Structure 1
Amino acid sequence: MQTNFTEEDLQKPHIREADRVLRTCVHCGFCNATCPTYQLLGDERDGPRGRIYLMKEMLESPEDDTQVTEETRLHLDRCLTCRNCETTCPSGVEYHKLLDIGRAEIERRVPRKPADRALRYGLRKALVEPGRFKALLKLGQTFRPLVPGSLRDKMPPAPVDAGTRPKGKRHARQMLILEGCVQPGLSPNTNAATARVLDQLGIGLTPAPEAGCCGAIDFHLNAQDDGRARIRANIDAWWPHIEKEGKKEGEAGIEAIVQTASGCGAFVKEYGEMLADDPDYAHKAERISELAKDLVEVLRDEDLDVLAVKERRRLAFQCPCTLQHAQKLGGAVEKVLGRLGFALTPVQDAHLCCGSAGTYSITQPELATQLRNNKLDNLEAGNPEVIVTANIGCQTHLAGANRTPVRHWIEIVDEALA
């Protein structure tokens, strides 16, 4: 794609990056064929190719261009950032990087209305601090009938038991785990089950409670500076465990940073790129990204026979977009579950988004509900006993329909341990 940025424009890092991404696009339109919102709405501006043109025109236009309006932002807001288009694209367009730039620019040029700003600010403050979120969740469960339906559907009806975790540093092999922000409240058993399964494989989890939200929620809601601040805070929390001074000779270091939510995993793996221009954190961020592993990347390399799994439930796996399109791990969980003996039902259109997409299901509820219902129809076609997934957002979004039970896949493995 030809661009028309001035030399002065190209001195700005974000314009230079946008120019690089735009020039890889050959506007073939293959991306529209796999874009969930284009399939629902049929509007070119609600597909990747149309959004790329909108962003190109905006970035090339002068500050006072009257054609850059709230309508431009509407089409960018409707994007799920599922990155299905990146999997489809024959030219390797890094669409999500351009989208981050475009969303930040439209936010600056066309300020949101107060009610919209308040909603997004409230979501960020409610979701990113685990302690605050747990308190708000408990309050919502207590007064459940008064909670708006779109939020009520995402809350488990009662507090969830996390179960117990192995205590003490029992193993030479040690990994860190990102506890997350909403997962400890919505599904605390996910990380506890992970600890128990890894314990059976001879792997211990070193706690780093200072690490909090990965920063993705801030980015989803266009508060990118706050997101980078959270990235730095997490690096500060993990770094002492990674680079211990005076480590005993022969003592093994941290092997990996485990992510049980694929959305967090995709984001942490990009820490190095996000802080590449930060002289104080660039090296550390790159190292963190190297160590970041989705849980399935850990299990697929282990001898799973030691788990002696006896369960044979019939499962349907919903592969989150952040796992298959961002982390390129499509099929990995299915292979692990197959090795463990679980029966997996076929899922049509498994590449399409369920509509969760971080806070998308709250900010774009109508589109998210349509996508969820379509996804559930495909997941339930094989009559599974349980739907399993790898991301807390997908889990709560799908479970909110109150149809087939939805769990994290590691919980099912944990329950099946002999």
Structure 2
Amino acid sequence: MQTQLAPEFQGTARGREAESILRKCVHCGFCTATCPTYQLLGDELDGPRGRIYLIKQVLEGATPTRKTQQHLDRCLTCRNCESTCPSGVQYGHLVDIGRAVVEEKVPRPTGERAVRWLLKEGLSSPLFGPAMKLGQAVRGLLPGALQAKVPAPRPAGAWPTRAHPRQVLMLAGCVQPSMSPNINAATARVLDAAGIQALVAPEAGCCGAVKFHLNDHGGGLAQMRANIDAWWPFVQQGAEALVMNASGCGVMVKDYGHLLRDDPAYADKAARISALTRDLSELLPDLVPALKPKLARRPDPQRVVAYHPPCTQQHGQQLRGGVERGLGELGFTVQLARNEAHLCCGSAGTYSVLEPQIAYELRDRKLGHLGELQPAVIASANIGCITHLQSGTATPVRHWVELLDEALQA
């Protein structure tokens, strides 16, 4: 694709990156076939190809409008288009640049600005935990829309205390410890059963994804630097990996090296952190042989686990099949939806708050396909997907590591 950047973007870091990405696009349209918003809305500008053209026009000097902003906002950033693209267009990086540029040029209505500020500041705030506890205490009194965002409280269980020669770092996350604390504890117990000690750096916080994807790039990068500072002593002491049990955080941390590549103080450290980062599913080939003898009771083969692979796992990190294979080797009956397993469930970080109509339509569509499997439980690998899907079904929705933890405990 031919480009001619406007003078204000020529020679800038984001101008060079955007131009490099744009020139890979051949306008083939394969991406529209797998774009959830294009499938729902049928508008070329609500698909990747159309959004790429909008971003190109802005970078070439066209004045963006409120409609430009809305078309970019409606993108889920699921990156399904990247899995489909034959030319290797890095759409996720491009849309981050495009949104940030448009944000600077198109003022939002006051109410919209307030909601976005509350999300980016509130979700990573130390006050989120107490607020969630209060919400859970009065959950039955909350209106339906808010109740859907407040999962019922569940105990975390004991954190293992044994020390092991093999050690890995874990990111506790910003919302997961309050919304579903058992996920982190279950991860630590499963790793412990395999002879691996899970360590948490107390100073590490939000991975930076919430602020970064809400166009506060400065705030997101500051959180990334703070995490690197918190993790670095553990890296120097020999932690063999940084393990992520929330795929949304995992895809962000794996991108630290790219996002901080021009920061002389952090570029090398960020690259090292990204290289060490592993989705929890990537450890399964190592865990399975150690865990098999410890399963006192084999999982019921008639109990179907319907697995929903998050977009941040299957498209953002390009990891497919690992959870199904690993749990299958351990005796679970794991199935993907027969249709549209590649499509987003509509959670997409803060998307389900900002674009609820599209988000819930995608959720119900996803649950319809998963329900065809008549599962005893639905499993996923990201706290956002788990909470979003659970709000639309009575079938339990759990993180896959919780199911493995329960089988080990049995």
**Length-normalised TM-score, structure 2:** 0.96
1:42-81 aligned at under 5 Å gives the runs 42-61=42-61, 65=63, 68-81=64-77
CA distance in 2, matches of 1:403, 1:57: 46
Distance 2:74 2:305 in 1: 31
Partner of 1:339: 329
Match of residue 245 from structure 2: 260
Task: Call closer, same or farther: CA 1:8–1:188 in 2, change over 3 Å.
Answer: closer
Q: Given residue 244 of structure 2, which amino acid in structure 1 is its aligned partner?
A: Q
Alignment pair present for 1:138 and 2:133: yes
Q: Secondary structure at the match of 2:72?
A: helix
For residues 7-406 of structure 1, the aligned pairs below 5 Å read 9-61=9-61, 65=63, 68-129=64-125, 131-144=126-139, 147-157=142-152, 159-168=153-162, 170-244=163-237, 253-302=238-287, 303=289, 304-308=291-295, 310-312=298-300, 313-347=303-337, 348-406=339-397
- Tell whether the 8 Å contact from 2:352 to 2:359 is kept in structure 1 after alignment: yes
1:8, distance to aligned residue in structure 2 (A): 6.5
Report deviation, 1:176. Answer: 0.5
Distance 1:346 1:3 in 2: 41
Q: 1:139 offset after TM fit, Å?
A: 1.8
Q: Distance in 1 between matches of 2:195 and 2:58?
A: 53
Question: 1:150, 1:365 within 8 Å by CA — same for their partners in 2?
Answer: no
The aligned counterpart of 1:248 is none
Q: 1:70, 1:8 → 2: CA distance?
A: 21
Deviation at 1:148, TM superposition (A): 4.4
Q: Percent identity?
A: 57
Does 338-347 or 93-102 show the bigger shift? 338-347
- Rounded to whole Å, the distance in 2 between the matches of 1:143 and 1:408 is 25
Cα drift, residue 87 of structure 1? 0.1
Q: In structure 2, do the counterparts of structure 1 residues 352 and 290 end up closer, same or farther at CA, with 3 Å as the change threshold?
A: same
Is the partner of 2:323 in helix, strand or coil? helix
Once the two structures are superposed, what CA deviation does each residue of 1:334-377 show, in whole Å capped at 9, x if it has no partner? 11111111112341210000000000000000000000000000
Instruction: Give the distance between the partners of 2:363 and 2:8, measured in 1 at CA.
Output: 45
Change (3 A) 1:330 1:165: same
CA contact (8 A) 2:313 2:319 kept: yes
| Cα contact 2:31–2:85 (8 A) shared by 1 | yes
Match of residue 407 from structure 2: 416
Runs of 4+ in structure 1 off by over 6 angstroms are none
Question: What amino acid is aligned across from residue 154 of structure 1 in structure 2?
Answer: K
**Given the two structures, how large is their TM-score scaled by the length of structure 1?**
0.94
Task: Verify the 8 A CA contact 2:305 2:376 in the aligned structure 1.
Answer: yes
Structure 2 counterpart of 1:139, one-letter code: L
Deviation at 1:143, TM superposition (A): 3.2
Instruction: State whether residues 190 and 411 of structure 1, in contact with CA within 8 Å, keep that contact through their aligned partners in structure 2.
Output: yes
Output the amino acid matched with 2:138: F
User: Pairwise CA RMSD of aligned residues?
Assistant: 1.3
Partner SS for 2:127: helix
C-alpha separation between the residues in 1 aligned to 2:386 and 2:370? 13
Higher mean C-alpha displacement, 7-16 vs 323-332: 7-16
Contact 2:6 2:61 in 1 (8 A): no
Q: Tell me the secondary structure at the aligned position of residue 9 of structure 1.
A: coil
Q: Secondary structure at the match of 2:173?
A: coil
Cα offset, 1:298, TM superposition: 1.2
**Is the Cα contact below 8 Å between 1:69 and 1:110 reproduced in 2?**
yes
1:190 CA drift (Å): 0.5
| Structure 1 residues 148 and 105, CA gap change in structure 2 (3 angstroms) | farther
Native 8 Å contact 1:259 1:265 kept in 2: yes
SS in 1 for 2:240: strand
Letter aligned with residue 399 of structure 2:
H
Provide structure 2 residue ranges, at least 5 long, that are not aligned to the other structure. none
How many angstroms apart in 2 are the aligned matches of 1:179 and 1:199?
A: 16
**1:6 Cα shift?**
5.2
| SS in structure 2 of the partner of residue 336 of structure 1 | helix
Separation in 1 of the partners of 2:8 and 2:376?
A: 59
Aligned length: 403
CA distance in 2, matches of 1:171, 1:356: 37
Secondary structure of the 2:363 match is: helix
Residues 107 and 146 of structure 1: CA distance in aligned 2, closer, same or farther (over 3 Å):
farther
